[in-house]
Chains A and B, each alone.
Chain A
Amino acid sequence: MVLSFFRRGESGMDHITGRIVGMLGDARHSFDVATGAVLHGVAVEQAADDIRATDARINRTEHELRRELIVHVSVHGTADIGQVLGHTLLIKKVERIGDQAKNILDLALEGVSLADAPDLDELTEAQRSISALFGEVAALLLDPDADEVERIRREARAMEDHHAAHILELVHSEQPGYVAVPRAVLHRYLKRIVANLVGVALTVTDPLPPVDPRP
């Protein structure tokens, strides 16, 4: 342990960012498994065990990263304070995505299965797009690119609008509750996950919301 001082290795904000990317990978795994249980008939109990274990890992990583961020500020002073505060918010967003994946799993645990639903293809496409978005956001954290942030923000906005439109449509639909409600809830969680992923992507260019009062 003491020898870690003499060893070469990643440390500082690069190390923390690397761990956040790992956390994002865990959140993606939870999301894929949870949506798999709802959309593709993956065994629910097996999925639940997997997601609970992954969520515990996400929560543990969140605590460790918070501690590492405090250590970073204590050692380096305030030089990276904007990035540190941004990462603090970012960690919370990733942790929330993990929770939202658990919420999707809860639908499956309540017996919701859309494996034979007529709109399965559309939902599967939405699930694939969001899963791909996890990868794009992770790549962005490792290799910051302002243009890519802007592209992701535009595409994610379109996804959010798509899910919002579905929610509105289902709220006013005359379909029975057991058809409309699970879909509305699922769209709601998908929309929140997309919003949190965009929030993570935006920390690359704007770690904190800018304060720019007009005279």
Chain B
Amino acid sequence: MRSVSDPSALPASVATPSPDRWLTTRRRALLVALLIYTFLVGVSSLETGIKILGADTQERLFSAVSNPLAGLFVGILATVLVQSSSASTSIIVGLVASGAVSLEAAVPMIMGANIGTTVTNTLVSLGHVRRSNEFTRAFAAATVHDFFNVFAVAILLPLELTTGALSRIATWISDRLVGSAGAEWESPVKALVSWPIDRFRGLAGDLGVSDPVVGPILIGLGLLVILTSLTFITKNMRRLVANRVERSVNAMLGRGGGLVAMTLGVIVTISVQSSSITTAILVPLAASGVITLRNAYPVTLGANVGTTITALLAALAASRPEALTIALLHTVFNVVAIMLIYPIRAVRDLPIRAAEALATVAATRTHWAVGYVFGLFIIVPLVGIVVLR
């Protein structure tokens, strides 16, 4: 007879502690705090590395993004490559903080990051491709996010280029928080996160390594640290709040509503620091019919707003107010997009109708789905960058 004293007698969920059981909630929370610090060091390292390169090199590297459409495509492609708008917008904040990319040039890149981040849940939806009904629901739930973000950019990018409305709002807020552009901002955490960078530069100086070498090393390290730490922050935060997310989703499904769902999207995304995780959770729920497209839609909009928290966090490590301005612009862009598109039913339904129409076609012609993903997220941005640079 099997005994409870024999762990092999019971299923893992009953008897055997998972390998990371030692990582208690408190320890995991501490780990996340450490990872956030590491992430900020990464942003600071990127900023310092680019500054070291000097104005000429910066001009050569980033002149291509002075064209707004090219900037938009760079934003899309960079986000698709790192599969995270949190990572790409944090890098953009670092570039703006270093002065390599102007605020005006960064705006389309931020908007592109918003579009690029939707690739993850669209890819997740392709997993249902063999079951037509399931796939139709999953693909529609994924692409409604794409369409909303594309519509938002179609409305707000021209408006921003012609009037500068979004940057003015973001600058107004930024001015009140940290002071005017051009000045050095005494970020409360800047000194803390600069310490390892200064030590590294000091060590490199002692070893006789010149700035043209140190600069690219700091940039490479910065990018690596940003991407790695964000991955682990997301992973650990997901574990920390998974039960809360589950409880909230169940509560929302019981008595949902647009604003409630949107708020939930904001909270969950802030918690896990990734809109992709929030929206990817919705795809299997939509595929199985547990949540309707109309109920999933506001959650994705909330995720758009929630994901901007990471860039705001990254701005804490920056020394120029413009870094905070671009991070705020990301938030302002998403909030204004919701305010323009969501309140009026006819306009609000446009992304839903577009997603449903595309999903219906894609369910019968699956190569359209694959073509759509490659086209929107890779081919169009790539061709755009090549043509417009």
Contacts and interface: CB of A to CB of B under 8 A. Distances in A.
Interface in B239-285: 241-255, 260, 263-264, 267-268, 271, 281-285
A144 B250 contact: no
Interface in A174-189: none
Contacts of A82: 11-13
B234 to A, nearest CB: 13
A147 B1 CA distance: 7
Contacts of B253: 67, 71
B264 A2 contact: yes
Interface of B is mostly: helix
B3 interface: yes
A62 B247 CA distance: 17
B387 interface: no
B246 A207 contact: no
B131 to A, nearest CB: 15
B290 interface: yes
B6 to A, nearest CB: 8
Contacts of B11: 82-83, 205-207
B159 interface: no
Interface of A is mostly: helix
B246 A72 contact: yes
A150 B1 contact: yes
Given A67-B290, A82-B11, A144-B14, A11 B285 contact: no
A145 interface: yes
B2 A150 contact: yes
B242 A75 contact: yes
Contacts of B4: 145-147
A109 interface: no
Contacts of A145: 4
B246 A71 contact: yes
A50 B1 CA distance: 41
A135 B197 CA distance: 64
A90 interface: no
Contacts of B245: 5, 75
Contacts of B290: 67, 70-71
Interface string B15-38: 100100000000000000000000
B288 interface: yes
B99 to A, nearest CB: 39
Given A5-B245, A68-B250, A146 B10 contact: yes
A74 interface: yes
Contact of A71 (B6, B10, B249, B264): B249
Contact of B251 (A1, A83, A150): A1
A76 interface: yes
Contacts of A71: 246, 249-250, 253, 285, 290
A73 interface: yes
Given A4-B247, A11-B244, A147-B3, A205 B10 contact: yes
Sorted nearest first, the 8 A-B pairs with minimum C-beta distance are A11-B243, A11-B247, A5-B248, A4-B251, A144-B14, A74-B284, A146-B2, A146-B9
Interface of A: 1-2, 4-7, 9, 11-13, 15, 67-68, 70-76, 79-80, 82-83, 144-147, 150, 204-207
Given A71-B253, A147-B2, 19 more contacts: A1-B248, A1-B252, A2-B264, A4-B248, A4-B251, A5-B247, A7-B247, A9-B247, A11-B244, A12-B242, A12-B246, A71-B250, A74-B283, A75-B246, A82-B13, A145-B4, A146-B2, A146-B3, A147-B1
6 contacts: A70-B285, A71-B249, A76-B242, A146-B6, A150-B2, A204-B14
Interface of B: 1-4, 6, 9-15, 18, 241-255, 260, 263-264, 267-268, 271, 281-285, 288, 290
